[in-house]
Chain A
Amino acid sequence: MAVAQPRPRPSNPRILVEHRSAAAVEDTPVVFEIGDAAVYYGAFRAVRDVSLQIHEKQITAFIGPSGCGKTTMLRALNRMHDTTPGAKVTGKLLYHGVDLYGPQVSAVEVRRRIGMVFQKPNPFPKSIYDNVSFGPRVNGIRDRAKLDELVETSLRSAALWDEVKDRLRTSALGLSGGQQQRLCIARTIAVEPEVVLMDEPCSALDPIATARIEELMRQLKSQFTIVIVTHNMQQAARVSDRTAFFTAELDSKNDQRTGILVEYDATAKMFSNPADERTENYITGRFG
């Protein structure tokens, strides 16, 4: 396996960004500035040496084989690891220049601004309406008319309104898998976040539902910064502006696999002319 070779220094994304080719994407403001980040579960280091910048109103994809730490890195961006006992995040993680793990920063405030859609659709066992209005409600919106309006706009943005407008009071668990996932997206954008993190949002869905979600992502891009983890390379190529490729590396000392960031660049460049041999092997299917 390619990863067994002596490891070159992890690519420095800033250099790559400066040397961008013609396929480069627009340089919108930086939302996340990540430097030498690592995540530990107890003594186990799940991912390390991650340095990259995520830009506003673009879709950034994290790709790579299983166990490469892409989901772990994603969850570090809205402090979901706070709920995992023993998990620890180190390194620089700035959100609009503010340290996400700063001493006074509240995980609740962070997650209100940085929403998340999970791998498996996970609507609450409540009605469709209550699912979407949950976030606004905990954030203090009590006004009935305002809530109705928010629910409608969110469901419209998630391209679900027409399918559910006549049964808003029925259980969300009665929806199909694809509808449930779009409901989860509607629920996330109802709190009007700035960033939406998506953790393999289509892996539990069939191709038709997947296509709808991808279409939705392209629409949402105008309003939100999106970071998506996917194991589906075609999906990354189809929807994202920038792609980060992660892989797992075996530490010969303690026999542990730790994820590393191999390469980060504009998606067009990553898929046509990657700088790193490992990226090329993975993209062309010669990996492992």
Chain B
Amino acid sequence: MQLFELRGRSHHADKAFGWITIAAAGLVLVILGLVAASMTQRALPVLEKMGPDLFTSSKWSAAEDHYGLLAFLFGTLYTAAIALVLAVPVSLGVALFITQVAPRWLKKPMVYLIDLCAVVPSVVWGLWGVLVLSQHFGLGRSFLTAGIILAIMITPIITSLAREVIETTPLTDKEAALALGATRWEMICATVLPHSKGGLVGAVMLGLGRAMGETIAAALVIGSALGQITANPFAPGNSMPAVIANEWGEADDLHKSALIALAVTLFALTIVVNLLATWIVQRGRRHA
């Protein structure tokens, strides 16, 4: 037998397949790079015109060609904060119920329920928010209504992440606490929560990222008021993604550039939040 026969016929095909998979994986980096580059380029005109006012002014007027996104940034953070305050206790409660309390037969249906909550399209939540929540329950279109809808939308996401984290608590730790005469709640406080701390914070951060980027439901229920910076949750307001969705249709060139600047800001914000979340999760994993 000659040496080259050992290489076999499929040698080249094998190599090629490997390269194809690398290309597919690299696509992720290419897309993210293109998103950052192309969008920033399109946002430059408005940045040139407005300068730092773009971020420090809360006046947004297409008629006067004056674009300041501060009020929308506020609205994004405010509604996301309302959503977190409402969603985190519920998510944690449900995750603990599924992992620590529910009998075995109930676990699967519960996971299905959460899946279904997560898959209801945001436009349907928006429609329900406008026609049922804000009209029937008299909440109107406001920061609070948007916060509630966002909370409903991020609860299943936080819950399923929290459930996965909590389930990694070693059974031996839990048994140790119970064998010392701890009640279920004491066991949870002593073992489950400290063990999952990092992962839970990460789950909440990912929920925060999702809440900030959620567009359609917010666009339908937030009220589309310009320049609102107020702590009053019943006031109508606006958030960055909602402005983009609502104003894109009738925007001229500079206006479009301003909306893209909003998208770039949102992109940067969610990336920071997600990086922070990943970092916290990984740090928690290392300490566990």
Contacts and interface: CB of A to CB of B under 8 A. Distances in A.
Interface residues of A, number: 29
A134 B177 contact: yes
A115 B180 contact: yes
Contact of B173 (A108, A115, A122, A139): A122
B179 interface: yes
Contacts, number: 72
B194 A124 contact: yes
B172 A120 contact: yes
B51 interface: no
A188 interface: yes
Nearest to B183: A108
B30 to A, nearest CB: 41
A108 B181 contact: yes
Interface in A76-118: 78, 80, 83, 85-86, 107-109, 111-113, 115-116, 118
Interface in B230-288: 287-288
A122 B187 CA distance: 14
A115 B179 CA distance: 5
A133 B135 CA distance: 55
Contacts of B182: 108, 134-135, 138
A213 interface: no
A124 B182 CA distance: 13
Interface residues of B, number: 22
Contact of B175 (A85, A107, A109, A118): A118
B232 to A, nearest CB: 43
A134 B195 contact: no
A70 interface: no
A10 interface: no
A138 B179 contact: no
A80, A115, A134: residue with the most chain B Cβ atoms closer than 10 Å: A134
A111 B179 CA distance: 5
A125 B180 contact: no
- Majority SS at the chain B contact face: helix
Contacts of A135: 180-182
A184 interface: yes
A125 B103 contact: no
B172 A122 contact: yes
A278 to B, nearest CB: 31
Interface in A117-139: 118, 120, 122-126, 134-135, 138-139
B183 A122 contact: no
A55 interface: no
B131 interface: no
B176 A124 contact: yes
A20 to B, nearest CB: 33
Contacts of B191: 124
Given A86-B104, A108-B182, A108-B183, A184 B176 contact: yes
Nearest to B186: A138
Contacts of B177: 124, 134
B187 to A, nearest CB: 9
Interface of A: 78, 80, 83, 85-86, 107-109, 111-113, 115-116, 118, 120, 122-126, 134-135, 138-139, 184, 187-188, 191, 197
28 contacts: A78-B179, A80-B175, A80-B178, A80-B179, A108-B181, A108-B183, A111-B179, A111-B181, A115-B179, A115-B180, A115-B181, A118-B172, A118-B175, A120-B172, A122-B172, A124-B173, A124-B176, A124-B190, A124-B191, A125-B194, A134-B180, A134-B182, A134-B190, A135-B180, A138-B183, A139-B181, A188-B180, A191-B181
9 smallest beta-carbon distances between A and B, as pairs = A112-B181, A116-B179, A122-B172, A135-B180, A85-B104, A138-B186, A111-B181, A122-B176, A138-B182
